[in-house]
Homo-oligomer: A and B are copies of this chain.
Amino acid sequence: MDFVSKHIVEPGQSVKLKSLETEPQGPFESKAEARAFTDQMVGKLCELQYRLHVEGRQSLLVILQAPDAAGKDGVIRKVLGRMNTQGVRTYPFKVPTEIERAHDFLWRVHQCTPGAGQISIFNRSHYEDVLVVRVEDLVPKSVWSKRYEMINQFEALLAERGTRILKFYLHISSGEQLERFKERLDVPAKHWKLNLSDYRAREKGAKYREAYEDAFRKCSTKDAPWFVIPADKKWYRDAAVSAIVCETLKEMDPQLPKVDIDLAEVRRAYEHEKAELQRELKGQGKS
């Protein structure tokens, strides 16, 4: 199945979240089948990430946005975080610190963009500055409304330097979200996560959807597309994200460096060194 074309928001496309399914339709007959597919994708991801890292020319930025409990942490733990940490770094963006607030809204994320050969994963991102900031009225509309174009130019800047950008919105239904909050009540080890305000999320749900829909329409670009991933079933969510990241890395087609060395010479160096070592060991045995 082509998960990319199924879930991509085309540039300029208007998306109504309420009309998009949160349950999977995918090609999977069962959860087990989807999990096996994801494992296979993760294997390929690891291989492609290795090539990207060794090639040292291109970069990948994966942005995760979603309501609480929709599974950003799960996607990182079960999919993206399984790539080799030496070339993949995860950045959770929380409420801005004092230093961060003393700068423009792109300052803190810019520092975390991936260098050549690297992958960055953003758990929340600069999109919060046109989402929570807009819904909670933290800055006036005259300020946040200019940010979409700033974001587009910022992402074009990264793309121009060789960074592919994938932006995932994990789309969960209010009912499923509520049940996930409820699970925290049932497991004592999760009690510390309980928060009464979670149960009032629905109040602002429509405003958040509207803010997301604007971000999708204004900021889904060829170089940095948005994807809306049905996320009520964790196994569908993981399968879709892994497939889309994998497809993107395949397209980027990272190459191992050309070999520019005389293999025969290396072989001779090996034989010589081995003989030396054996002589050394023999000498130690005699002494």
Chain A residues close to B by CB (< 8 Å) = 54, 73, 76-77, 80-81, 84-86, 88-90, 92, 121, 123, 174-175, 178, 181-182, 185, 189, 191-192, 194-196, 199-200, 202, 256-259, 261, 263, 265-267, 269-270, 272-274, 276-277, 280-281
Nearest CB in chain B to that of A72: its residue: B86
CB<8 Å pairs between A and B, sample of 29: A76-B85, A77-B84, A77-B86, A81-B84, A81-B86, A85-B88, A85-B89, A86-B90, A86-B92, A86-B123, A175-B277, A178-B274, A178-B277, A181-B270, A182-B270, A185-B263, A185-B266, A185-B270, A191-B259, A192-B256, A192-B257, A192-B258, A192-B259, A194-B259, A194-B263, A200-B269, A200-B273, A202-B273, A202-B276
Contact (Cβ within 8 A) A196 B84: no
| Complex alpha-carbon distance, A185 and B257, angstroms | 15
18 further contact pairs, Cβ within 8 A, besides A181-B270, A195-B261, A199-B272: A73-B86, A77-B86, A81-B84, A81-B86, A85-B90, A174-B280, A178-B270, A178-B277, A192-B257, A192-B258, A194-B259, A194-B261, A194-B266, A196-B266, A196-B269, A199-B270, A200-B273, A202-B276
